[in-house]
A and B are shown apart, each in its own frame.
Chain A
Amino acid sequence: MKKYLARGVLLAAVLGCSTLVQAAPLSIADKVEQLGEMKYLKLNGGQMLQRNGLLAVQLEIQNQDKGDQQLYYRFRWLDNAGFTVGAEEGWKPMKFIGLQKQTIHSIAPVTEAVDFRMEVNSPENTGAPAAK
């Protein structure tokens, strides 16, 4: 009787675990936090990889306007528990001439960083929350 009870508990545990929904990994675009919707500066794509034990990130941003645009950005690095690691970064300015594409590289400051978020701001932002 005890043997059947133990097997029942084990089966219930396995079935319970199998119904846990695994969160889908975020795409690079989801890791970019826009402070207001970016009207002209768009993320074309990006990639991240481990290099010499540090997380390296590369993102391409394009100016879709014919005039100059100003971007301010900074990175926030996260460990595998989602906690922020490393000191708060300063905002960095970047100028885009009309229709220019530029690549932003960054390396995490510490080996604990396994993920990132990039905050971006541009004076041309609409002020409304970015549409998802």
Chain B
Amino acid sequence: MKTTKQCAKISAVLAAILLIGGCASNSTPTVGGGDVVYGDSKAVETVSNEFGSTDLQMIAEAMARSLVQHPSMASRPFIVVSEVKNKTSEYIDTRNITNSMKTQLMKSGVKFVTDSSTMDAQVEELKKQNETGLYKNKAKLGQMKGAKYLLTGEITSIVKKNSNTKDVFYKFTLILKNIEEGVDEWQDEKEIRKTSKR
């Protein structure tokens, strides 16, 4: 029969084991030395005042939300995306902005037709299906839908500096043009100011 002292010793040892076990870190399903950390892709990025991910997200969201509520979108017309001109002094991949906008608009039900970036691939595929004689059910020639509207725009910037401050003002303008009539049906802009200490 164990004495009270022996029971106390065993309890203390068990408690210590549990405590150490609790403090020990769990293994994680990761590989590597831990120098790389995944962050939040939606976080506000303030690394520098150059065009960044937050600017891209804000512009795409603002433009998409503005366009989707315009009366011209009610009939779900076909739209073609044209080049957005970069008139800033930085390198900005404007295709990135239009891709994000297009993704958001498509989720809202807006329809897009083939634009210049994918036209070559589509024509190539059509030719392959119709001219090689290999396909049973082939996509017919002359069936592509024409767009009613053209989406185009530009991004500009104004950069001002003094001895201790750098201020960058971006303005993104997007236009929806009626292709047949040459009328600008909708236009909106998003302005962003980023200021940093030098």
The chain A residues found within 8 Å of chain B, CB to CB, are 51-52, 54, 72, 74, 86-93, 106-107, 109-111
Cα–Cα distance between A88 and B61 once the two chains are bound (Å) = 11
Minimum distance in angstroms from A60 CB to a CB of chain B: 19
Scan residues 32-74 of chain B and give those whose CB is less than 8 A from a CB of chain A: 42-44, 53-54, 57-58, 61, 64-66, 68-69, 71, 74
* Besides A90-B61, A93-B44, 6 new A-B residue pairs in contact (Cβ under 8 A), listed by A number: A51-B69, A89-B57, A90-B43, A90-B57, A91-B42, A111-B109
B contact face: mostly helix, strand, loop, or mixed: helix
A contact face: mostly helix, strand, loop, or mixed: loop
* B65 engages A110 (CB within 8 Å): no
Given contacts A72-B44, A87-B104, A90-B42, contact A107 B58 (CB under 8 A): no
The chain B residues found within 8 Å of chain A, CB to CB, are 42-44, 53-54, 57-58, 61, 64-66, 68-69, 71, 74, 103-104, 107-109
**Please, which residues of chain A bring their CB within 8 A of the CB of B69?**
51-52, 54, 107
Minimum distance in angstroms from B96 CB to a CB of chain A: 14
Given contacts A52-B71, A109-B108, A110-B107, contact A89 B65 (CB under 8 A): no
* A90 engages B58 (CB within 8 Å): yes
**Please, which residues of chain A bring their CB within 8 A of the CB of B68?**
54, 107, 109
* B42 engages A89 (CB within 8 Å): yes
Minimum distance in angstroms from B45 CB to a CB of chain A: 10
Chosen A-B contacts, 8 in total, with CB atoms closer than 8 Å, are A52-B69, A72-B44, A87-B104, A92-B44, A92-B54, A93-B44, A106-B65, A109-B104
